[in-house]
Amino acid sequence: MKVLVAVKRVVDYNVKVRPKSDMTDVDLANVKMSINPFCEIAVEEAVRLKEKGVATEIIAISVGPQQSQEQLRTALALGADRAILVSTDEVLEPLAIAKCLKAVCDAESPDLILMGKQAIDGDNNQTGQMLAALTGFGQATFASEITIDGDKITVIREVDGGLQTVALNLPAIVTADLRLNEPRYASLPNIMKAKKKQLDTSTPADLGVDVAPRVKMLGVELPAERQAGIKVADVAELVDKLKNEAKVIS
């Protein structure tokens, strides 16, 4: 079984994001970048499937700038066998990424595509679903458990009301949720081995994909700071403030 895992380069989740001085975009100068946490969970799940003897090859793929090679090398150190970078400096929207992934799927014919449910920068939660629509593959989003039996995959999904179990035929697309697994750390020997693993590079033009943005970013700004709360002595004072100051009750 061939598994394709999508990886996105994002600002590290421990870093506080700040806008540029002219408020035109997020300031990425001298900012630590990492694999999107949900993508890292997807990589871990692929590696676990290979350790169980279910998967035979893991291909990590990223669509983004040349610097995304760093995140692909991390995925290789975690256990991926080879990597593909679709290099572009354009600001990518979910549909453009899905189209690039679809072109790679046509060339690689993977049995399973694993992705993070969303990226922590755009928070769109769209690419997996769009890729499923483009490929015609079955999809299971927000996965918290995956079981594969032959050409069937069973996925337990996290939904608003609890858990939902779905069964799909392979090939299929699964997006990983937070509780699917806990990613491992890359060991130093594996980091060194990853430097020698295959990493192919192409461009959206090579794939015949137009990634020109359809949405224009007008500005970026920090959310307004919340005012500090106050303590009230008793219920009577609370009701008085709700009625006379906040004016939310009458």
250 lies in some domain: no
Quote the percentage of the chain above a pLDDT of 90: 74
85 lies in some domain: yes
Per-residue model confidence (pLDDT) at position 23: 86
pLDDT at residue 215 is higher than 90: no
37 lies in some domain: yes
CB 1, CB 54: distance < 8 Å: yes
Query: For 67, which DSSP code?
Result: G
The tally of domains found in the chain comes to 1
249 lies in some domain: no
Parent domain of 172:
2-244
Summarised one tens digit per residue, pLDDT across range 37-94 is 999 999 999 999 999 999 999 999 999 999 999 999 999 999 999 999 999 998 899 9
pTM: 0.85
229 lies in some domain: yes
Confidence band, pLDDT 50/70/90 cuts, at residue 226: confident
Per-residue model confidence (pLDDT) at position 26: 87
56 lies in some domain: yes
Residue 186's contacts (CB-CB under 8 Å, 6 or more residues apart) are 74, 77, 78, 194
Residue 119's CATH number? 3.40.50.620
Residue 11 three-state SS: strand
